[in-house]
Structure 1
Amino acid sequence: MAFLTVAEVASVMRVSKMTVYRLVHSGHLPAIRVGRSFRVPEQALHQYLYGSYTGSIESTDRP
């Protein structure tokens, strides 16, 4: 299983690192804590992106 840093996730998603931190802290994007940093399982990122694309992830930010 491969894990990505917050910076790597932000690069793949083309968002800021703060956006990734918000997704992790809100529980929308699963992550594990390694020391003082977070690592996101690569498979979890792909599932999140697929769910976002197909609209299957519920978001409170959307009308």
Structure 2
Amino acid sequence: MDDMAYRVEEVARALRVGRTKVFDLIRAGELTSIKIGGSRRVPARSVHDYLSRLIAEAA
């Protein structure tokens, strides 16, 4: 099964940005996040949608 949600650090590594930038994107509503226990996770769909918006804006 493919990963359904990523840790903030994993998203940061995939986007080649820092953890702070990922938290900024979450606060700005650009990325959706959920809490599982005490851990913050970003659904894979949210990352995909964010990248799709960036690509559309660049076109």
How high is the TM-score relative to the length of structure 2? 0.82
Q: 2:41 aligns with which of 39, 42, 46?
A: 39
- What is the aligned partner in structure 1 of residue 17 from structure 2? 15
Unaligned runs of 5+ in 2: none
Identity of aligned residues (%): 34
Unaligned runs of 5+ in 1: 57-63
C-alpha distance after superposition, 1:2-57 (max 9, x if no partner): 0000000001100000000001111111010223331000011011011111118x
Structure holding more helix per residue: 2
Q: Which runs of 4+ in 1 moved over 6 A?
A: none
Q: Give the RMSD, CA atoms, in angstroms.
A: 1.7
CA distance in 1 between counterparts of 2:22 and 2:48 reads 14
